[in-house]
Amino acid sequence: WFFYMMCKHPHVEARILQELKGLQSSTWPGDLHVFEWDTLRSAIYLQAALLETLRLFPATPFEEKEALVDDVLPNGTKVSRNTRIIFSLYAMGRIEGIWGKDCMEFKPERWVSKSGRLRHEPSYKFLSFNTGPRSCLGKELSLSNMKIIVASIIHNFKVELVEGHEVMPQSSVILHTQNGMMVRLKRRDAA
């Protein structure tokens, strides 16, 4: 989904490329440049774009929980013990009351503070890595790996959607595309 968003928002891709320009990378066979995780710590906008992608396209589009005790939801709905509750992370990432009037827009800037640092969003608001005692233990490792992979790909290749190929979400246990995502990779000039 990240590369889909880069194809749809070339200004975001350009800003990430500018951010990566000043960072050191290792050269691999074939003159490919690969970034190390510690080098990418300062790539705030790259991480913001990844988080924004996860907000709009969470890996798991829905969650299921079970009430341990009788409870009442904030809207007054009574929930009995052992009741299963299913909620949509996909929908929650698009709720105006949580994310603002621009909730349907892809805006990595929402994750960057005025001082240029990564803005922390509470885990109950951004549930891509779950929340509470069942929060994902691998969150930081996952984000680090995503940054390494996407930075290395975007630095070396221009990813373009194949013209006429429609990309639509397919809800399943994992959020994927109905018909895949057909792209063309074009080698970027070494710089």
Q: Nearest 5°: phi and psi at 170?
A: -125, 110
In the DSSP assignment, the letter for residue 123 is T
Is residue 24 within 8 Å of 52, Cβ to Cβ?
no
Instruction: Report, in angstroms and rounded to the nearest whole number, the Rg of the chain calculated over CA atoms.
Output: 19
| Separation in Å, CA 46 to CA 18, 63, 154 | 10, 27, 11
DSSP structure class, residue 17: H
Residue 43 corresponds to which tokens in the numbers above? Answer: 């790539």
Question: Does 136 belong to an annotated binding site?
Answer: yes
For residue 26, the cross-strand partners are 34
Phi, psi of 27 (to 5 degrees): -100, 125
- Binding site membership: which residues? 136
- Binding site membership for heme: which residues? 136
